[in-house]
Amino acid sequence: MQPFRNILFAADFSENSQEAFRVASSLSSEKTTRMSVLHVVEPHWVAEEPVYFGQPTVQYSDSGPGPNGPEALKRRLIDQYTPNHAIDVTYFVKEGEISSEILGLAEQTGSDLIVMGMHGRTGLRWLLAGSVAISVLRRAHCPVLALHAAQVPLSTQDFNVILHPTDFSESSQAALRVARSLARDLGSRLVLLHVAPLEVYVSGMIASEPDVQVYRETMEETRKRLDGPDLKYPVETRMSRGDASDEIVRQAEELGCGLIVMGTHGRTGLGKLLMGNVAESILPRAHCPTLVVKVPQLVPIPASSRPAQRAVTVF
């Protein structure tokens, strides 16, 4: 069973976008997944004539979609974004501000995952660049999988190692449920990482020193809770100290990680919080795709994740 049932894919016709679409397709199941493929056309504002020298204001109007009208663009979407297995796909062409249109359609369709590239290369002059991905990440009410050109895998088979950075917060637990579900369904190794903060010095004296043993005990408790016969590999744990984003990127590269799954808002006194700025720092730097889970209450909770029972996740 694949963990996502309603995927929204943001398309810009670039090579990176088409590679990312293969990943979105491989996360879908023929019998249970619906996919929405969206292309957004930004308004083309032109000055209204006549424009006089010294005129204090200039009126602009939207010139419309031009020769690449909605129907032509929809046919192009169908031609270039067809999954390699039979799933229910609906194609959308909208005009407006890119991130707002992506978020609006995600809410309209009840999407439980948004997949998007971060750097498009296209002559159509709208790019799913980092700023758009960050805007979607900050405002989305469902997980966002962001991929940039340097790190798009061929399929989810390349998600051989899934890294979950945790700060033991509610948001991290929500992301962990998604990470475990993917590890189970894809037969991947699941590695938990906690980055403990460094000591805080004031006037040459240690003002705050993290209790590393507390972190180790919490990691071990989490590992025991997650392990189960439905996982192909035992859950692994790693501890590190330093800057959270630097260590996450370093550990992911060291592990040959295929996917990072993380939360964005930590609410705990245990260690470095995985706030939004950490996720935003990782997105352009990681050598693998990053799946960010933002809103805990909207992430379905498994019926059970205890080792003695087979976990069944309801999405």
Tell me whether domains 6-45+60-151 and 159-298 share a fold.
yes
Cβ atoms of residues 135 and 280 within 8 Å: no
Q: Which residues contact 221 (CB under 8 A, 6 or more apart)?
A: none
36: which 2 tokens?
């929405």
Q: Which of 15-29, 79-93, 118-132, 294-308 has the highest mean pLDDT?
A: 79-93
Identify the pLDDT of residue 288. Answer: 87
179: phi then psi, degrees, rounded to nearest 5: -60, -40
CB crowding 115-124: b at 16 or more within 10 Å, else e: bbbbbbeeee
pLDDT-derived band at 128 (thresholds 50, 70, 90) equals very low
Alpha carbon distance 240, 266 (integer Å): 18
Residue where the block lists tokens 């790693």: 238
pLDDT value, residue 203: 55
> Would you say 9 and 35 are in contact if contact means Cβ atoms under 8 Å apart?
yes
What are the sequence ranges of the domains in the chain?
6-45+60-151, 159-298
The per-residue pLDDT for 8 is 97
Confidence of residue 101 (pLDDT cuts 50, 70, 90): very high
Average pLDDT in the 156-176 region? Answer: 86
Measure the CA–CA gap between 144 and 134, rounded to whole angstroms. 10
**What is the structure's pLDDT at 120?**
45
Q: Which of 226, 136, 215 is nearest to 175 (CA)?
A: 226
Instruction: Check if CATH label 3.40.50.620 holds for domain 6-45+60-151.
Output: yes
CA–CA dist 235, 101 (Å, integer): 38
Q: What is the pLDDT of residues 251-284, one digit of tens each?
A: 999 999 999 999 886 444 443 344 557 888 888 7
Q: Is the pLDDT of residue 58 over 60?
A: no
**Alpha-carbon distances of 280 from 116, 134, 262, rounded to whole Å:** 14, 7, 11
Give the whole-angstrom CA distance, residue 232 versus residue 252: 20
Cα 263 to Cα 55: distance, rounded to the nearest angstrom: 51
| Structural class in CATH, domain 159-298 | alpha beta
Tokens read off for 304: 């059970």
CA–CA gap between residue 299 and residue 295 (Å, rounded): 7
Mean pLDDT of the chain: 77
Instruction: Round to whole Å and give the CA distance between 114 and 190.
Output: 22
**In the chain, pLDDT over 90 holds for what percent of residues?**
37
Q: Give the tens place of pLDDT for each residue, 189-225.
A: 999 999 987 755 455 555 455 677 888 898 999 999 9
Of residues 153 and 142, the one with the higher pLDDT is 142
Residue 225, classed as helix, strand or coil, is: helix
Q: Which residue would you say has higher pLDDT here, 46 or 253?
A: 253
pLDDT at position 164 is 96
* CA–CA separation, 264 and 296 (whole Å): 10
